[in-house]
Amino acid sequence: MSQDLDVQAPRPVPLYEFVKRQLSEAILLGKYPPGTRLPSEIALARGYGVAVGTMRRALTDLAAEGMLARRRKTGTVVTGRPPHHSLRFFFQYFRLRSANGALLRSKPEVLSLRRVPAGEHDAARLSVSRASALIVIDRLRRLARRPVMHERFVFPADRLPNFPERPKDVPELPYLHLLEHYGIRISAVRECLTAALANAQDRQLLALPARAAILVIDEIAFDQGGQPMILAHHRATTDGLCYVNEVG
């Protein structure tokens, strides 16, 4: 479970806080679902490449904030509760819920992975030159076997050296991957939500009838320095589903 942390790299927060934020991000993004029993302090510390005391401090803080429960017989367990403090340090990602409010866990499938020149429109939105290379990922999300959303992510390639080149190697949680492998934390997101009629691609990928309604989410995500880092476009069915954006 090695996280390949560069413990010598300069950072604006103490090391235990850095580890704590990584663990929090993993929990918030579903890497450790509610009820998960985490490995021991020693195993976690070894995986993150830090001292046991550093890991213990991070886990103690997360327990105090309600994200973890530390039990003598069962160990450290993910509670599924949001942290007590403000979530302003964490990327606020969308969540699909059922009509009765239950949180749904979708599974993404990478449809394509390619590198393309930025072009005028995306270059302006990402503040890069038109000749810059972009990484473009197209994915389809399913609930069980039902397709519910297709989405596109666009990243500036020069900021992500050694990014996976095969679709099967693309990380399921791109925001967590940016943090763990590049030290890039998504700290702000601007979203535009609209309703639209399904187009031909929507109908094909999401198995929708003609004139079905969909939810469209256009998003720009910014790093901790305020630079645009990700362009995202999501198109989701609204049949029995709703979109919840939690800002705590």
Element (H, E) at 177: helix 174-182
Residues 116 and 214 in one domain: yes
Q: 214-227: buried (b, 16+ CB within 10 Å) or exposed (e) per residue?
A: bbebebbbbbeeee
The owner of tokens 């390639």 is 157
**Residues 115-122: contacts with CB under 8 Å, at least 24 apart:** 115/157, 118/156, 122/154, 122/231
Answer whether residue 106 shows pLDDT above 90: no
pLDDT level of residue 13 (50, 70, 90 thresholds): low
Q: Is the pLDDT at 99 greater than 80, yes or no? A: no
Q: Work out how many domains the chain is built from and give that number.
A: 2
Q: How far apart (Å, rounded) are the C-alpha atoms in residues 134 and 109?
A: 20
CATH number at residue 49: 1.10.10.10
| 128 and 70 part of one domain | no
Let me know whether 46 and 150 are in one domain. no
Closest to 193 measured CA to CA, from 122, 245, 120: 245
Domain assignment present for 5: no
**Is residue 88, in this structure, part of any structural domain at all?**
no
8 domain residue, yes or no? no
Q: What is the pLDDT of residues 202-229, one digit of tens each?
A: 999 999 998 899 999 999 999 878 899 9
Task: Categorize the per-residue pLDDT at 88 as very low, low, confident or very high, splitting at 50, 70 and 90.
Answer: very low
Q: 65-92: buried (b, 16+ CB within 10 Å) or exposed (e) per residue? A: bebbebeeeeebbbbeeebeeeeebbbb
Q: What is the CATH number of the domain that holds 202?
A: 3.40.1410.10
Is 50 exceeded by the pLDDT of residue 96? yes
> How confident is the model at residue 80, as a pLDDT?
77
Q: For residues 166 and 70, state if they share a domain.
A: no
Please indicate, yes or no, whether residues 65 and 105 belong to a single structural domain of this protein: no
| 74 shares its domain with 112 | no
Answer yes or no: is 182 within a domain. Answer: yes
Between CA 118 and CA 180 the distance in angstroms is 25
* pLDDT for res 125: 95
Please report the pLDDT score of residue 149 as a whole number.
94
Containing structural domain, residue 70: 15-78
For the segment 18-46, the average pLDDT, to the nearest whole number, is 86
For the cut 90, the answer to whether the pLDDT of residue 2 exceeds it is no
Q: What is the mean pLDDT of residues 161-173?
A: 93
- Judge if 57 and 176 occupy the same domain: no
Give the chain's length.
248
